Amino acid sequence: MTRSLTLLGATGSIGASTLDLVRRDRDAWRVEALTAHSSAAELAALAREFGAKIAVVSNEACLPALRAALAGSGIEAAGGRQALCEAATRPVDMTVAAIVGCAGLAPVMAAIERGGTIALANKEALVSAGEVLMQAVAKHGATLLPTDSEHNAIFQCLSGNRLSDVARITLTASGGPLRTWSAEQLAAATPAQAVAHPNWSMGAKISVDSATMMNKGLEYIEAFHLFPVGLDRLDIVVHPQSVIHSMVEFRDRSTLAQLGPSDMRVPIASCLAWPRRMETPLAPLDLAAIGELTFFPPDEERFPATRLAREAIRAGGSAPAILNAANEVAVAAFLAGQIGFTRIAAVVEETLQRSNDSPRPATLDEVLAVDQSARRQALTLLETNALV
Ligand code: NDP
Ligand code: MG
């Protein structure tokens, strides 16, 4: 049976992994919409290859290039944020949400309001708007399939179990490429060093987040919303081999873990085929060859980001959205060579301190307003060199 698919963020790393799986099983899928921000030529090539009905660049300035690249193909071209949300509301069997950052929030919400099935990789949307998104999921009868590898692991471990029997959920963290670096070395880390992840190949933003451990902080907040067992039952352990993708301990002290290769095609396949299974091209897990699995507590002195995230979700209100927005601004500044590596967490902490503590945003627009104001605050910090 052919199923229809929309892929938000088709030109990114998750987008490429998703399309690799679709390419291997072309008869199983009909591609409705593919989206990108500015990569018009790349998007047009994918839209032609997969016979998409519509291709959307959210950066409207890139629409003429997209139109030109799609000329004669019969594929509709559209541009701008509104067009992106409209594409996300087209009825499909599966939406893969793989835009990076809070920019993915509005289209994810559009897909949720349609009551669709959404494979959610875009963790920033859930961090910024956790309550608003989860309420909309319940209200519109949408199905959210966690695609982030840790949350997909937890989702699999919880299958057939009751949340009330969960004693603890443990997120594993690779620790990133700079895990063993001293504080002095970290202060001098370059973007190239920070994005050189030992186990995973990912987009630049999440690669930096992995190096700072903010990725695990965002995932902690993501887990809080997806699996409501309470913060006291959420834990983080560093596991450099990235073989165990996360674990659930039950009250009888039985722990279930999901293991697999560190390749996003595994959790993406789990979402695409859910509730069944599909083939992936990956080699079987060879534990004898891996030999050793090790575990360490997170070091929040050198990597304060997990502490900031824990504090933000405990504070609640607008703090998680502020944390996320400030982090997006700081990571972009780091990648542009404007601030040092250890300044990323400092910008986030200072933005949280300077932002007025406002009540929990109750609507999408309120979340986006908090996001915008936190971005301005973080940019002001950078422009006034308050921290550098
Ligand atoms: P990439 O940077 O590789 O890709 C991002 C995609 O989003 C691209 O298609 C990009 O288009 C599009 N995009 C960027 N900015 C905007 C914007 N302002 N509006 C609309 N679209 C935009 O990211 P990843 O694939 O690495 O990550 C995507 C999401 O998945 C992130 O939230 C990340 O945290 C999460 N994730 C990623 C994992 C991974 O292994 N990569 C693992 C787990 C989660 P364009 O090419 O035109 O810029
Ligand atoms: Mg992850």
Q: Which of 7, 14, 84, 262 to mutate to test the pocket of ligand 1 (most atoms within 8 A of CB)?
A: 14
Distance CA 133, CA 127 (A): 10
pLDDT of 356 over the 90 cut: no
Closest residue to atom 48 of ligand 1, CA basis: 37
The residue nearest atom 16 of ligand 1, judged by CA position, is: 37
pLDDT of the residue at 254: 98
* Per-residue pLDDT band at 386 (split at 50, 70, 90): low
Ligand closest in space to the Cα of 150: 2
Which tokens hold the place of 335?
Answer: 């990648």
Question: What is the average per-residue pLDDT within 28-36?
Answer: 98
Beta strands 255-259 and 244-250, pairing class = antiparallel
Q: Assess whether pLDDT exceeds 90 at residue 198.
A: no
Specify the 3-state DSSP secondary structure of 279: coil
Q: How far is Cα of residue 160 from the mean position of the Cα atoms in its chain? A: 25
Phi (first) and psi of residue 277, to 5 degrees:
-130, 155
Q: How far is the CA of 260 from the centre of ligand 1 (A)?
A: 23
The pLDDT assigned to 387 comes to 61
* Superfamily the domain 3-146 falls into: NAD(P)-binding Rossmann-like Domain (3.40.50.720)
Ligand 1 centroid to Cα of residue 306, in Å, is 22
CATH topology of domain 316-388: Rna Polymerase Sigma Factor; Chain: A (1.10.1740)
Q: What is the mean predicted confidence (pLDDT) over 62-79? A: 98
pLDDT at 291: 97
In the reported structure, the alpha carbon of residue 312 is separated from the centroid of ligand 2 by a whole-number distance in angstroms of 19
Query: Which is the closest atom of ligand 1 to the Cα of 15?
Result: 25
Ligand 2 mean position to 150 CA, how many Å? 5
- CA 216 / ligand 2 centre spacing (Å): 7
User: Looking at the CA of 123, which ligand is closest?
Assistant: 1
Residue limits of CATH 1.10.1740.10 in the chain:
316-388
**Ligand nearest 223 Cα, by number?**
2
What mean pLDDT is predicted for residues 269-285?
97
Give the H/E segment covering residue 359. Answer: none
Q: Any idea which of 79-93, 226-240, 256-270, 348-362 has the lowest mean pLDDT? A: 348-362
User: What integer is the mean pLDDT of 30-34?
Assistant: 98
Does residue 388 surpass a pLDDT of 80?
A: no
How far is the centre of ligand 1, averaged over its atoms, from the C-alpha of 191 (Å)?
18
Per-residue pLDDT at 44 exceeds 60: yes
Cα gap 68→224, rounded to integer Å: 44
Domain span(s) for CATH 3.40.50.720 in the chain: 3-146
Which ligand ends up closest to the CA of 55? 1
Residue 39 has pLDDT above 80, yes or no: yes
Nearest atom within ligand 1 for CA of residue 149: 43
User: In which band, very low, low, confident or very high, does the pLDDT at 46 lie, cut at 50, 70 and 90?
Assistant: very high
pLDDT digits (tens, 9 = 90+) for 108-131: 999 999 999 999 999 999 999 999
Residue keyed to tokens 């200072």 = 350
Query: How far apart are the CA of 148 and the centre of ligand 2, in A?
Result: 5
Q: Which of 7, 13, 271 to mutate to test the pocket of ligand 1 (most atoms within 8 A of CB)?
A: 13
pLDDT above 80 for 76: yes
Tell me what the pLDDT averaged over the chain comes to. 97
Q: Cis link prior to 191 (omega < 30° from 0)?
A: no
Q: Which atom of ligand 1 is nearest to the CA of 62?
A: 47
Answer yes or no: is pLDDT of 302 > 80. Answer: yes
Nearest CA to ligand 1 atom 9: 9
Atom of ligand 1 nearest to the CA of 59: 19
pLDDT in tens, 167-197: 999 999 999 999 999 999 999 999 999 999 8
Residue 168: count other Cβ atoms within 10 Å of its Cβ: 16
Residues with CB under 6 A from ligand 1: 9-15, 36-39, 58, 98-100, 103, 121-124, 148, 200, 202-203, 205-206, 264
Rounded to the nearest 5°, which phi and psi values hold at 369? Answer: -70, -45
pLDDT band at 320 (very low <50, low <70, confident <90, very high): very high
Ligand 1 atom 2: residue of nearest CA: 203
C-alpha 149 to ligand 2 mean position (Å)? 5
Residue 33 has pLDDT above 70, yes or no: yes
Return the pLDDT at 358.
Answer: 77
Percent of the chain with pLDDT over 90: 96
CA distance 3 to 118: 13
Pairing of strands 3-8, 94-97: parallel
Q: What is the CA radius of gyration of the chain?
A: 20
